[in-house]
Structure 1
Amino acid sequence: MLDRLESLEREFDDVEARLADPAVIADQSTYSEVAKRYRELDAIVSRSRQLRGLTEDLDVAREMLRDAAGDDRDEMRAEVEATEADIERLTEELRALMLPKDPNDDKNVIVEIRGAEGGEEANLFARDLFEMYQAYAGRMGWKSEVLGTDPSDMGGFNEVTFLVRGEGVWSRLHHEGGVHRVQRVPVTESQGRIHTSSATVTVLPEAAEVEVDIDPNDLQVDVYRSSGPGGQSVNTTDSAVRITHKPTGLVVSMQDEKSQIQNRAKALQVLRSRLLKLEQDRQAAELSDQRRGQVGGGGRSEKIRTYNFKENRLTDHRINLTLYKLDKVLAGELEDVIDALVAEERTRRLAEDG
């Protein structure tokens, strides 16, 4: 690790010099890339230099400990132990920062939420999840844009698709993919009985056109009139678009925009992201046949998280995390859940890295 740190420190000095280069400053795109790399390296190099200083301090403290006696010896022993703890902490932080980057880390995400098991109650829960993520995005300073909706009869969503833009959106949100289970008394329940329903969440890295080359001959494009809850027509022209990718069978429909061209553009945006994720999953599966998909069949047994309204409880089953503040989580306070998932992923990756 020391050799790697020396190399990164040299790169940091070079990047720092480039930030002062008038030619770099004049090119906004280049300057943005260089500044981003500077921030990444600064987090590593600052810790590396701090670690070097602590290592030198530890050598001095150990030498003084050998010559100390009485109260001075106890004091020096405490200083040695504190410095050793700081060195261990910094070393783990550096190992985490030097892990290979997820190729999707710099990407925005497309989130798809669908009502699954439970009929209209599942669709209402899909809206609750949508509003939760919208509120969380606001707390994080991210921008969100609804790409398409399929409203249900009682104000929920059969399906809703939206884009989230901002720093760190993939690293924070990709854990949300999977089956979310809700336990509560539905508004349609007259006897006060608790029902269990579910909605599925899929998180896709936004794909640039250059990343996914789509052959127009592979597409079947159908147009039709937009419809609202209950199937009633909400447009007098054929503006809704359904695109089928024939090689994979993937289907994307968009109807929110009044223009067929706009709906087609949004459908292709989502299709590219699905195809990118499909290829990434295929590559990952080649490396690990134990990898599982995010959504599965939408069944309750495949759940990643349970939302129990009666107990105001949220449980994430992947990390055995239980919080009794469901109301706050649904209002967008997801930090405790996502921080725990990010920490667990970092711990796992460090263990795999050896």
Structure 2
Amino acid sequence: MNLDELISEYAEIEGRLADPAVHADQTLARRLGKRYAELRPVVETYRELAVTTGDLATARELAGEDAAFAAEATELAGRREFLEARLHRLLVPRDPSDDKDVILEIKAGEGGDESALFAGDLLRMYLRYAERTGWKTEIINSHPSDLGGYKDVTVAVKAKPGQGEGVWTRLKYEGGVHRVQRVPVTESQGRIHTSAAGVLVTPEAEDVDVQIDANDLRIDVYRSSGPGGQSVNTTDSAVRITHVPTGVVASCQNEKSQLQNKEQAMRILRSRLLAMAQEEADAAASAERKSQVRTVDRSERVRTYNYPENRISDHRVGFKAYNLDQVLDGDLHNVTQALVDAEMERRLAEAQRTS
């Protein structure tokens, strides 16, 4: 879609959002609002560029008569160059899931109890990052460990209406193996151990994104285990759903009722099926589009958290910082920004090759 078409689409959506009848359909209004927020930076940058270009032409015409206009022309030329570059970046094809919310899963890996504790640390990091960013979080499913960590935990992260940037834009880079180096609480000799936890991030799918035939599902119920109230271990409230054609499985035991657990498991299942479909589409379109900063392959180590040096290292883009304590407290912006920038540079280079 070219720039003129985007501007026309923006004007059309603006008109539709002014119609009260549109807001009677909340799903439609939300979809239009997201697209409107996505297009706004493009249109605003284009309009400012047009004004700046006009002002620059005027300033250059008058520069010979007044030195002040010559100085203004120099300033406007710099501004126009900046706006042209910004517009070019905004027009680079986006990840189609960038406006989506996410389902984030953390699983303990190598390291036993220490890995489960680290999984808990990662969960707190993401919850605090979400709080700083203004996102809403909801723990969908969890299996706590004996020492206070998590064997695995699944959390939904949602942007608030009108935020513009979707959660996937930032958290999609978190998928992979996260390695920690520290002295475990269970270590009596003070030796540094290395353990790991796996993170999987998928865009949360809506009903319109993934069509699931009920006949393709196998639903099993079983008794919950672990903390959860009086219903735990007394009723078959936990639910496991298997999508038979693909073998994808999702389960939930956190809610008290079987119906609630089924609904949450379906959320996870839809997101996993959407992620699978997108990966297949990416592979079919171009192998190059499987960027290293988008991987959700658990076998790939993406980041190391070194406690003795207070250092965090992201191995995909060479990012390194010595404020690990702040990052674990939710100050994750600089880490994710390095990955966002790397992805943008890749997309720019790809756009230039195909233009």
* TM-score, reference length from structure 2: 0.86
Tell me the distance in 2 between the aligned counterparts of 1:30 and 1:219.
29
Tell me the distance in 1 between the aligned counterparts of 2:172 and 2:270. Answer: 17
Instruction: Describe the shift of the 1:239–1:35 C-alpha distance in structure 2 as closer, same or farther (beyond 3 A).
Output: closer
Structure 2 residue 137 is matched with structure 1 residue 148: no
Could you report, residue by residue, the CA deviation over 1:156-214 in whole angstroms, capped at 9, with x for unpaired residues?
A: 11110011111411111111111111111111111111111111111111112333233
Q: Alpha carbons of 1:344 and 1:78: their partners in 2 closer, same or farther (altered >3 Å)?
A: farther
Partner of 2:116: 123
- Give the corresponding residue for 1:87: 80
Q: State the 1:133 CA deviation.
A: 0.6
> Aligned to 2:103, which of 105, 110, 116?
110
1:202 and 1:294 in contact (8 A); partners too: no
**Structure 1: gaps of 5 or more residues:** none
Return the alpha-carbon distance in structure 1 between the equivalents of residues 339 and 153 of structure 2: 24
- What are structure 2's unaligned runs of at least 5 residues? none
Matching residue of 1:175: 173
Within 5 Å, which residues of 2 pair with 1:317-332?
317-332=315-330
Q: In 1, Cα distance between the equivalents of 2:297 and 2:45?
A: 41
Distance 1:161 1:295 in 2: 15
8 Å Cα contact 1:132-1:329 kept in structure 2: yes
Equivalent residue number for residue 313 of structure 2? 315
Partner of 1:195: 193
Distance (Å, rounded) in 2 between the aligned partners of 1:31 and 1:249: 35
Match of 1:338 among 331, 336, 339: 336
In the alignment, residue 347 of structure 1 is paired with which amino acid?
E
Q: 2:91 aligns with which of 94, 98, 121?
A: 98
Q: Root-mean-square deviation (CA), in Å?
A: 2.7
Q: Is the CA contact (8 Å cut-off) linking 1:311 and 1:324 kept in structure 2? A: yes
1:335 and 1:178 mapped to 2: Cα distance? 18
**Aligned ranges for residues 153-168 of structure 1 at < 5 Å?**
153-166=146-159, 167=163, 168=166
Decide which structure has the larger Cα Rg and report it: 1
Does structure 1 residue 221 correspond to structure 2 residue 219? yes
Supply the AA of the counterpart residue of 2:82. R
Among 238, 259, 262, which residue is 1:261 paired with? 259
CA distance in 2, matches of 1:216, 1:55: 57
Name the aligned partner's letter for residue 294 of structure 1: T
Identity of aligned residues (%): 54
Once the two structures are superposed, what CA deviation does each residue of 1:244-293 show, in whole Å capped at 9, x if it has no partner? 33322222222222222222222222111111101110111112335368
- Whichever residue aligns with residue 132 of structure 2, its letter is R
Alignment of 1:255-294 (within 5 A): 255-289=253-287, 291=290, 294=295
Counterpart-to-counterpart distance in 1, 2:336 and 2:51: 33
CA deviations on 1:30-76 (whole Å, 9 max, x unpaired) are 554444444444322222122122223333444555x479xx4xx76
Question: 8 Å contact 2:201–2:296 — kept in the other structure?
Answer: no
Q: Whole-Å Cα distance in 2 between the matches of residues 25 and 224 of structure 1?
A: 42
